[in-house]
Amino acid sequence: MAQGVTCYHRLDSTTQTQSVARLQAASCELWGGPPNSPIPCAKAYRNALPSTKKGIEFTTPAMPCAGKGTPYEARWYHPANPMVRRNNLGYAVIDIAIHLNRQVP
């Protein structure tokens, strides 16, 4: 990965399944639903995927919304961020490039 490029990751979970990881790789999109709110939001962890964990590591041209999340989380809200779109299912969507997929064999 190029120096100065920020990467993010999502961990294998009940919502980040192998089938979701396959869809993300095929579509080059990360979707997110509302976290206990009616506002669509895509979420991920900041930095590289830990070497002992399953999940995906990616970059995106969309900068996370400032002041949202935690030092460990990044959040992209629609419509607060112009690079976040909302799909016809109501999810927030950002474009991603997956650099590491340790979730799908």
> Is a pLDDT exceeding 60 seen at residue 32?
yes
| pLDDT, mean of residues 48-71 | 90
Predicted confidence (pLDDT) at residue 29 exceeds the cutoff of 90: yes
Instruction: Confirm whether 2 is domain-assigned.
Output: no
Range of the domain at 17: 8-101
Across the chain, mean pLDDT equals 89
16 within domain boundaries: yes
Domain count, the chain: 1
* pLDDT of amino acid 33: 85
Q: Quick check: is 57 in a domain? A: yes
pTM recorded for the entire structure: 0.88
Query: Which contacts of 45-49 are long-range, i.e. CB under 8 A and separated by 24 or more positions?
Result: 45/8, 45/9, 45/10, 45/11, 45/72, 45/73, 45/74, 46/6, 46/8, 46/71, 46/72, 46/73, 46/74, 47/7, 47/8, 47/9, 48/7, 48/9, 48/100, 49/9, 49/11, 49/100, 49/102
